[in-house]
Amino acid sequence: MPRTLMLRAALGMATPLFLGLLFGRLDLGVFAGLGAMHATMNDRVEPARLRAPRIAAALFASSLGMLIGTALQYEGGDPLTVGLALTAVAFASGAISATGPRGSSSGMLLLVSASLGSGMALPRPWWAAPLMMLAGAAFVVLLGLPHRAHRSFPRSDPRRRALAAAYEALGDTLAALGTPQGAARRQVLTARLNQLQDLLPHARPGRQEPDHVQRLRRMYEAGLAATETATGLLWAWRPVPPAVAELPGRLARAVLGGPQPEYPGWEPDTPALKALDIALRAATDTVAGRPAEPGTAPAPPPDPWRLRVRLLSGGSVRYGLRVALCIAVAELAGALLPPGRTYWVPMTVAFVLKPDLGSVFLRAVSRSVGTVLGVAVTAALLLATTDKWALALIASGCVALLPYSAAAHYGLNTAVMTPMALVLVQLGGESGMAEFWPRVLDTALASAIVLVFGYLLWPERPPHRIEPRLVTAATALREYLASVAGSPQAPVAEVWLRRTAYRALADARQEVQQGLTEPPPAGRLASQWLPATAALERLSGAVAAYAAQIRYGGRTPEPAEIQRVFDALDHLTAAARAHQPPTGRAARPTGPHDPSRSAIGRAADELDVLLG
């Protein structure tokens, strides 16, 4: 339960609504509350350096959409003009949404706000709607302004908590070495490292970071080096003594202000265990504030052209066309609906088509079920009271649940968001009880439009989402192996290549799991890519073990075996681009790897079996 976010969300919604009731301008308070809700949807417990740009990007798109929608309504545009305008906004929304998580949220809110603005009752004056949304969002930002308590109370710093969670996950992975649970623990570890990486952005060139941030970064890099060695041990099915597996957990407690642990005494006897010993010693020294060499280089700077390239990529254009098609059909269907109901259908389409929320099929079904439950709850509440102060309190309670429901389940999030939206509409004075149940029909219509025009008839099926992810992961693994084989005496940059590869693998695994939830044939095709995803994950561990053999075991790079892996990765990449899943099944190792045998050689054998 993210209590901090929930309290912040409740205050952000309640304050503008109560002020609107107090001063007799509830029409302005509703739009300020809407802006607070959109800010809450993008709020995180993270440093202000990350939090403010995240909310600002989303609210700029939301306010722009509201300005477009209210202008269309104020000018009294005919249905054709409004439909064409929203279709153009939908294309821009889809193209932005395909650029990444922040783009996904901004693109969705651009379209949602334009749809709302074109149908909701306008305030006086009409152009005050986007301004009040910005004011409501600014209030939520102010509620979360950074404080310096984390200097005295480390547990209050979200970066330290994320770092401690990563060390805890590392300890769980070490405890699961040599067991069938190892792969699942490694996936959790990767997710924790992804979260921590997002909270520790790249250092800005020419700008000195505060000492506490530099120390956090050093502890993060030390954890990355230890994670690399743990991955190699996981692949080799080689366990470690319990005292060693417990060390990262004690380091996690030290990160949050606990006592500094003593390093356990043990004698590593293989290259991979020696690599783990060196990495854990460096991590222990780093957490204790002692000088240490974690064996990593500074993270490479981000590419400033990356967003522009993704925005103009074929995938972004295709997704923009997909969203535009659904909105055009929704507007055509909305023209046949009674006045006052037209905006609910395109708004629902925008929510269901958000690209990073999972299966479109499940979202459409969950949206319909969640809307039915939400309407039923709202009807029960309105039968109990129609007092505006009570309704404002109910809306604030619903918003407070959003941070929890959004992470728990999409259907639950819809069941929470529907009463909030309907209560806001009720406060705006534009609908009554009789119009609530038609919202269920509108949601069902929007879900049907998405399923037919955005899912069944559109070529962007789950396997076509999986395959580009696999190509990216295979390419990253190739670069990682090339670095291991090409610079055995200077491995400092390998950890970032491995981090990039494992993040790409995590994205591919997520796409596969989402594809498995689709009905046949999409789900069946996604299941055919599951063995390839697992094989690439094992390959990453094999490369980590191979790096330890070269670094600490005296093994020299073997060009023939490395070329076998390169060839296998090239074949797998070609198969993904040709939409042809491999049919082989590589067996998962069930016993410790012989350290005298090349780790990369066994990985090449597994890939040969996978590719037939």
∠ at Cα 159 (157, 165), nearest 5°?
105
Q: Do 543 and 483 reside in the same domain of the chain?
A: yes
Question: The pTM is what?
Answer: 0.76
Residue 535 has pLDDT above 60, yes or no: yes
Contact 163, 223 (CB under 8 A): yes
551 is written with which tokens?
Answer: 């670094």
Q: Do 329 and 443 reside in the same domain of the chain?
A: yes
Q: Do 340 and 282 reside in the same domain of the chain?
A: no
In a domain, 175, yes or no: yes
Structural domain range at position 237: 157-203+211-288
CA dihedral sign, ordered 420, 421, 422, 428: positive
Q: Judging by beta carbons within 10 Å of its beta carbon (0-12, 13-18, 19+), is residue 492 exposed, middle or buried?
A: middle
CA distance 16 to 28: 8
Backbone torsions φ then ψ of 428, nearest 5 degrees: -70, -10
Name, in order, each residue with C-beta under 8 angstroms of 84's C-beta and a sequence gap of 6 or more.
Answer: none
Residue 257 has pLDDT above 90, yes or no: no
What is the overall mean pLDDT for the chain? 82
CA distance 356 to 345: 20
Q: Do 316 and 450 reside in the same domain of the chain?
A: yes
The structural domain count of the chain equals 3
Q: Do 311 and 449 reside in the same domain of the chain?
A: yes
Q: Judging by beta carbons within 10 Å of its beta carbon (0-12, 13-18, 19+), is residue 24 exposed, middle or buried?
A: exposed
Tokens 């109910």 map to which residue?
394
In a domain, 317, yes or no: yes
Residue 307 has pLDDT above 50, yes or no: no
In a domain, 295, yes or no: no
Which pairs count as long-range contacts for 564-569, CB under 8 Å and 24+ apart, including other chains?
A: 564/604, 564/607, 564/608, 565/481, 565/539, 565/600, 565/603, 565/604, 565/607, 566/478, 566/481, 568/604, 568/607, 568/608, 568/610, 568/611, 569/474, 569/477, 569/478, 569/607
Q: Do 230 and 107 reside in the same domain of the chain?
A: no
DSSP 203-256: PPTT-PPPHHHHHHHHHHHHHHHHHHHHHHHHHHT----HHHHHHHHHHHHHHT
Q: Do 323 and 447 reside in the same domain of the chain?
A: yes
Q: Before 125, cis peptide (omega within 30)?
A: yes
- Indicate the DSSP class of residue 434: G
CA distance 476 to 535: 14
Contact 246, 601 (CB under 8 A): no
Question: Which of 585, 544, 569 has its CA nearest to residue 271?
Answer: 544
pLDDT band at 309 (very low <50, low <70, confident <90, very high): very low
Contact 194, 503 (CB under 8 A): yes
Instruction: Name the most confidently modeled range: 175-189, 401-415, 479-493.
Output: 175-189
In a domain, 450, yes or no: yes
Residue 164 has pLDDT above 60, yes or no: yes
How many helices (H) and strands (E) in the chain? 24, 0
Residue 111 has pLDDT above 60, yes or no: yes
> In this structure, what is the dihedral angle of CA atoms 7, 10, 13, 15, given to the nearest 10 degrees?
-80
Buried b / exposed e over 401-417, threshold 16 CB at 10 Å, is bbbbbbeeebbbbbbbb
Residue 310 has pLDDT above 70, yes or no: no
In a domain, 430, yes or no: yes
pLDDT band at 464 (very low <50, low <70, confident <90, very high): low
Q: Do 490 and 596 reside in the same domain of the chain?
A: yes
131 is written with which tokens?
Answer: 């301004």
Lowest mean pLDDT among 210-224, 249-263, 347-361, 537-551: 347-361
Q: What is the pLDDT of residues 16-51, one digit of tens each?
A: 999 999 998 988 998 999 888 888 888 877 776 777
Strands (E), 512-577: none
Q: Do 564 and 478 reside in the same domain of the chain?
A: yes
Q: Do 419 and 314 reside in the same domain of the chain?
A: yes
Q: What is the mean pLDDT of residues 393-401?
A: 90
Q: Do 387 and 507 reside in the same domain of the chain?
A: no
Q: Do 138 and 55 reside in the same domain of the chain?
A: yes
- Indicate the DSSP class of residue 291: -
> In this structure, what is the dihedral angle of CA atoms 474, 475, 477, 482, given to the nearest 10 degrees?
140
In a domain, 235, yes or no: yes
Strands (E), 381-480: none
- The residue from 456, 485, 520 where one domain ends is 456
Contact 388, 341 (CB under 8 A): no
Q: Would you say how long the chain is, in residues?
A: 612
- The residue from 229, 256, 288 where one domain ends is 288
pLDDT at 296: 54
pLDDT band at 369 (very low <50, low <70, confident <90, very high): confident
Higher-pLDDT residue of 189 and 221 is 189
In a domain, 59, yes or no: yes
In a domain, 298, yes or no: no
